[in-house]
Structure 1
């Protein structure tokens, strides 16, 4: 089956956002450049702050992409309960390994070299279809040796509490979501019932502040986070979107919604602009205080997208209706919950971000159709098809190499004191360079797979 490049593009942009938001100058940019609940300059978590910004959208969009991809992975016929648990285990191990193998914060050239060695170990462990069977074993042995060396020589601490929280969360979300999809892949009504049960469970447990109470218990939070279940409100609708798209992509000649569009180029451009403006509007509306007029405007605009899709892009109509329902449901739940927050996760946060993710996937379709061979499409779709590598390459390879070669001095000089927006530009260039490196490997058919 051909890859769905629009999904790869959106996933690549999402990973760009994850890495970019982690390396921009801290404490000196406007509030909207960071997680809304971690405002500058101290960036301490403030539960009294509500609203979401672009940084808060990145993680749920990635969950959405993961959900859409599940039916594609299952189309090979190789997905079963055993393979689902195996992939979960590999993701869970990865969430620890890339942290334990990162010694780059230690002084000196040896920790940097060891970090590059750790990247090589992960390369051998997670390479898709290695040419020799012994490569994975060599990667495992090298990982063990480097972790022991880190403890002995670099004062590294090995503990169950030191994991990469994003990959850790994703591993469990994948496990639960993939199992639900597997057992309901031929029964959409049952999957919808499961979605409603999760919605009810989330509403009740959030009302009694169960997430905060559980997270306060250190012995529990290292392994169990109730948000695994909440985020299924994003992933399960995404699997339905994936079911629809998989059927279309598997058609002879693949799927291009624009080839089936009934409107001229100007109308398509207007549709693209409308989608883009609506996403921007939603980001502004959710960043500021929610109100009735914002809800009415947002729901009306989403319904207009659905009606336009039926006329202009009939292939989008079914999925666009899902997005409209999610936006409408998010607005209603926001009034019920009183605020939209990422921490603790609210139902409105899950529903709104699902709807926004669908519209961003539509926008990605436009970009891939109009500019299929552009550097932009190639870089981000290439990086998006290699998500594990894309996520850690900057910290585990690029920065250690910069430190070993002296390029770190140029990197530091590229952010002059008192010019934070130049620091933002530096971060963007550095991450795009990283994405381009991963995209090059993807074009050479070199992938990491859990």
Structure 2
């Protein structure tokens, strides 16, 4: 496999496009499994007691997993150059600041007040925000820092003087998804760097994070550590729970590097291993989403255990023949995490995204490993290879995909009265789903357009 494995970019691309799709389909009229499990239709009011997951609830952890896996790949040159730890720390903090700034600016740009400004002006300002982000995050070929500096200056003026819904600029008004990603970029990078030669230690350190969480409601130092934050709008200890997805991702990234130049040996006795494994992984993904959502947890545990037991026994042939070593590692890690997550499932009232449970981290990480296997296998087929390549292109520019809908497409729809047709489609289930796919398709085309011209945004 190439050092930059396309299955990793494809997983990221699939996650970001699924995120766009989940936010652009009709609300209130589709089956409950088309939305977050805890915000069922028709009111979509948050119900924290509801347990279960849907495909929508796997979108964010899959993106986090791919983010973790990218850390070793992004820093491999630093390792080869024996870079000083200070450089890595500065790089990690710089990315943290960039992502938090992105979270603040994009949320405020989406919240411009149409009551104090005219709607056309709001749309134009939102598209200006898109262009400013281009200037800030694009690596200019000349290396000039003038365009980013000008763009940051204009962005600061916008935040300082424009009216927003709810009042003026506020540090508390930011995109929580991006803030979590910022924290994971910082702590995930530092954790990987200082344990890059000891992945086992990396996993063990998570037990200390778990200990703080388990004792956060006691009258002890754990509670103090959990609640303390120098910048509550940018960091909370609660966000560190997502390291339980990032760290498995970093281990996947380590293996991607380790087996980058190792061919997938295919012996006669293992020629059927890959298609059977892909089939089993697909069944596990579908079964866990359906059965955990419908709360048939006992049946899900039985089905999952049986499939994994048969698959792991059959995998011994592949291991003995040293065939598909990377995918064998992915399978074993995914099986361990999924079973661990299902054992945790009964705790905390069942698997939930918000507040996220231990089961949620382990189950989603295990399923992410299985999705990596599926995407890696699809690369070897004609049609599957094209699909993976297309998803990978989206995954190479996720920041563009994330904001194109809100800061480019929706403003254009409002300016051209296209919003009338879009809202009409959202009134019926079938057209409401179709509208989401069309919306997501346009976002995807814009993203791929940027990628093919080398307009990559980097934080």
TM-score under structure 1 length normalisation: 0.88
Match among 68, 89, 94 for residue 81 of structure 1: 89
Q: For 1:182-235, what per-residue CA distance to the aligned partner results, in whole angstroms no more than 9, with x for missing partners?
A: 110012232122133334444444899x99999999998644434312111111
TM-superposed CA distance for 1:246, in Å, is: 1.7
Partners of 1:306 and 1:5 in 2: CA distance? 25
Q: Which residue of 2 aligns with 1:127?
A: 138
Partners of 1:421 and 1:396 in 2: CA distance? 26
TM-superposed CA distance for 1:100, in Å, is: 2.0
Match among 311, 314, 317 for residue 317 of structure 2: 311
Q: For 1:28-62, what per-residue CA distance to the aligned partner results, in whole angstroms no more than 9, with x for missing partners?
A: 11111111111112211112211111111111111
TM-superposed CA distance for 1:67, in Å, is: 0.6
SS of residue paired to 1:76: helix
What residue ranges of structure 2 are gaps of 5+ in the alignment?
A: 319-323
TM-superposed CA distance for 1:158, in Å, is: 0.8
Is 1:95 the counterpart of 2:103? The answer is yes
Is 1:116 the counterpart of 2:117? The answer is no
TM-superposed CA distance for 1:390, in Å, is: 1.1
TM-superposed CA distance for 1:373, in Å, is: 8.6
Distance 1:49 1:261, change over 3 A: farther
What residue ranges of structure 1 are gaps of 5+ in the alignment?
A: none
Cα contact 1:382–1:440 (8 A) shared by 2:
no
Q: For 1:297-354, what per-residue CA distance to the aligned partner results, in whole angstroms no more than 9, with x for missing partners?
A: 3133234333444435343122211111111111221234441111111111100000
Partners of 2:268 and 2:407 in 1: CA distance? 47
Distance 1:443 1:109, change over 3 A: same
Q: Which residue of 1 aligns with 2:55?
A: 54
Distance 1:83 1:283, change over 3 A: same
Q: Which residue of 2 aligns with 1:196?
A: 207
Distance 1:219 1:90, change over 3 A: closer
Answer with 343-352 or 215-224: which moved more.
Answer: 215-224
Partners of 2:240 and 2:102 in 1: CA distance? 21
Distance 1:155 1:222, change over 3 A: closer
TM-score under structure 2 length normalisation: 0.87
Answer with 75-84 or 429-438: which moved more.
Answer: 75-84
TM-superposed CA distance for 1:104, in Å, is: 6.5
Answer with 184-193 or 263-272: which moved more.
Answer: 263-272
Q: Which residue of 2 aligns with 1:438?
A: 447
Q: Which residue of 2 aligns with 1:368?
A: 379
> Aligned-pair RMSD on alpha carbons?
3.1
Cα contact 1:12–1:380 (8 A) shared by 2:
yes
Cα contact 1:9–1:377 (8 A) shared by 2:
yes
Partners of 1:303 and 1:212 in 2: CA distance? 41
Q: Which residue of 1 aligns with 2:11?
A: 10
Q: Which residue of 1 aligns with 2:257?
A: 246
Match among 331, 336, 340 for residue 342 of structure 2: 331
Distance 1:413 1:46, change over 3 A: closer
Cα contact 2:7–2:375 (8 A) shared by 1:
yes
Partners of 2:71 and 2:401 in 1: CA distance? 19
Answer with 158-167 or 192-201: which moved more.
Answer: 192-201
Partners of 1:431 and 1:212 in 2: CA distance? 42
How many residues are paired up? Answer: 441
Distance 1:96 1:298, change over 3 A: same
Answer with 107-116 or 80-89: which moved more.
Answer: 107-116
Cα contact 2:209–2:240 (8 A) shared by 1:
yes
Q: For 1:79-99, what per-residue CA distance to the aligned partner results, in whole angstroms no more than 9, with x for missing partners?
A: 611111111111111111111
Q: Which residue of 2 aligns with 1:146?
A: 158
Match among 278, 300, 303 for residue 297 of structure 1: 303
Cα contact 1:150–1:156 (8 A) shared by 2:
no
